[in-house]
Amino acid sequence: MGIHVAELTVNLGPRSYKIFLGNGNLADLGGLCKSLDFGKSAAVITNPKISGLYAAAAESSLSSCGFNVTRVEIPDGESYKNSETLNHIYGALIDAGLDRKSFIVALGGGVVGDISGFAASTYLRGIPFVQVPTSLLAQVDSSVGGKTGINHHLGKNLIGTFYQPRLVLIDADTLLTLPQREYLSGLAEIVKYGIVCDADFFDFLFDNKEKLVNKDTETVLAAISNSCRLKASVVENDEMEAGIRAVLNYGHTFAHAVESLTSYGEFLHGEAVSIGMVRAALLSEEKGYSTVKDTARIINLLREFNLPTGLPDFPTQAYCEVMMRDKKVRDGGINFVFNKGIGRCIIERVNDWSFLLGHL
Ligand SMILES: NC(=O)c1ccc[n+]([C@@H]2O[C@H](COP(=O)([O-])OP(=O)(O)OC[C@H]3O[C@@H](n4cnc5c(N)ncnc54)[C@H](O)[C@@H]3O)[C@@H](O)[C@H]2O)c1
Ligand SMILES: [Zn+2]
């Protein structure tokens, strides 16, 4: 058995599930699935890169516990998180004869997790699924909370469901093969949790910045486990994002604008979030919700993680146009997340675009 250093529960009544976190615990996958009321057949959905690294370990654990496993590979990359790939998945599930008791294992980053979750939520009107996230972003964000989906050519994540996994298994050893740039990008979402809901966690990240950059095992585990705990508690309070869950969009208004203006080609998601969090921090300061010192601490930490902090140079009008097209804009205004100092935040409606875009 791998070493479980943390076991968390996402408490959602009948949809509750556990998050197991450790090093080398991918080998526990079969046993953990066996403890749930799944049928005999499983489909492991992954991409060729992850498949070569981790599918054999995942599948042998499942087979040794008596499951019949079919591997389904989808191409690597955000541009494949679409209906064509989804159809390929459905076809593979039908070919393999998966029934309503069968389950899906999403083995990979957020792209694999999102599309596999969506497939699980719709195939035969819903079959169980398990998240085995292998990127830092997926481990601390996308695998927990039940948002699934695909992109449409008219916009990102426009098609999706809320559908909780039955289990999340995080083997932090998988991060050893994750490219450093992807890893650092995941740290941005971790910093976000500290800023919006946990000052002590932000201090922990600040005090351990070198260890985090160098992927020190114990520190990384603590950061992942705390992030999952914080995400779980936000989701427990607002599963369908009727209100408070929106705090997790901190930094994302500008991040989405940056991603869109650069055609999703220049920045990784976490890098764009880093830039967006700096804008949010500056606007919070302008509102009087935080101090120059708070903003400086946020910027310093992001810089330590080698994350970009400056807004790319596009005309204010271009920012205005893409932000107004944001799917979160209602009646010409947007709910913006401001930080109150570090460790607390507030969601406020902003109708005055010149406030948001005033100092670009
Ligand atoms: N559902 C949610 O709540 C939620 C939240 C945030 C983001 N997302 C979605 O997540 C996606 C981004 O996720 P991501 O950043 O993981 O991107 P990704 O899935 O594209 O993974 C990034 C890259 O790293 C590779 N990779 C992953 N794990 C690896 C490993 N252990 N070793 C080597 N390479 C590895 C992948 O193959 C890919 O090339 C986006 O589609 C975004 O919309 C969803
Ligand atoms: Zn994000």
pLDDT at residue 157, rounded to an integer: 93
**317 CB-near residues (< 8 Å, 6+ apart):** none
180-197 and 292-304 helices, crossing angle to 10°: 160
Pocket of ligand 1 (CB under 6 A): 47, 49-50, 53, 76, 78, 81, 108-112, 114, 134-135, 137-138, 141-142, 145, 147, 157, 174, 177-178, 182, 269
> Closest Cα to residue 299, out of 180, 202, 198, 201?
202
**56 CB-near residues (< 8 Å, 6+ apart):** none
Q: By three-state DSSP, how is residue 164 classified?
A: coil
pLDDT at residue 126, rounded to an integer: 98
Q: By three-state DSSP, how is residue 201 classified?
A: helix
Are 284 and 338 spatial neighbours (Cβ–Cβ below 8 Å)?
yes
* E-only strand ranges, 58-189: 68-73, 103-108, 129-133, 147-152, 155-162, 167-171
Ligand showing the shortest atom-to-Cα distance for residue 274: 2
pLDDT at residue 325, rounded to an integer: 85
Classify burial at 91, counting beta carbons within 10 Å of its beta carbon; exposed 0-12, middle 13-18, buried 19 or more: exposed
Ligand 2 centroid distance, CA of 301 (Å): 18
Q: What is the CA radius of gyration of the chain?
A: 20
- Look up tokens 């509750």; give the residue: 16
Q: Which amino acid type is present at position 358?
A: G
Report residue 34 CA to chain centroid gap. 26
Q: Which amino acid type is present at position 188?
A: A
pLDDT at residue 2, rounded to an integer: 53
Q: Given 3-state DSSP classes, what are the helix, strand and coil percentages for the chain, each rounded to the nearest 5?
A: 55, 20, 25
pLDDT at residue 4, rounded to an integer: 62
CA distances from 136 to 221, 263, 269, 274, 346 (A): 11, 23, 12, 15, 26
Query: How many C-beta atoms surround the C-beta of residue 45 within 10 A?
Result: 31
**Quick one: tokens of 204?**
């922990």
Ligand 1 centroid distance, CA of 111 (Å): 5
CA distances from 227 to 17, 189, 253, 330 (A): 16, 9, 21, 30
User: First CA to last CA across the chain, in angstroms?
Assistant: 53
Whole-number Å distance between alpha carbons of 288 and 126: 47
Ligand 2 centroid distance, CA of 271 (Å): 10
What are the helix (H) ranges across 238-333?
Answer: 252-261, 269-287, 292-304, 316-324
- The residues assigned a catalytic role are 125, 147, 189, 231, 241, 245, 249, 252, 256, 269
Nearest-atom index, ligand 1, CA of 133: 28
How does pLDDT run along the chain (360 residues), one tens digit per residue? Answer: 455 678 999 999 999 999 999 999 999 999 999 999 999 999 999 999 999 999 999 999 999 999 999 999 999 999 999 999 999 999 999 999 999 999 999 999 999 999 999 999 999 999 999 999 999 999 999 999 999 999 999 889 999 999 999 999 999 999 999 999 999 999 999 999 999 999 999 999 999 999 999 999 999 999 999 999 999 999 999 999 989 999 999 999 999 999 999 999 999 999 999 999 999 999 999 999 999 999 999 999 999 999 999 999 999 999 999 998 887 888 889 999 999 999 999 999 999 888 998 877
- Which residue CA neighbors atom 12 of ligand 1 most closely? 110
Ligand 1 centroid distance, CA of 343 (Å): 26
**Quick one: tokens of 76?**
């690597």
pLDDT at residue 324, rounded to an integer: 87
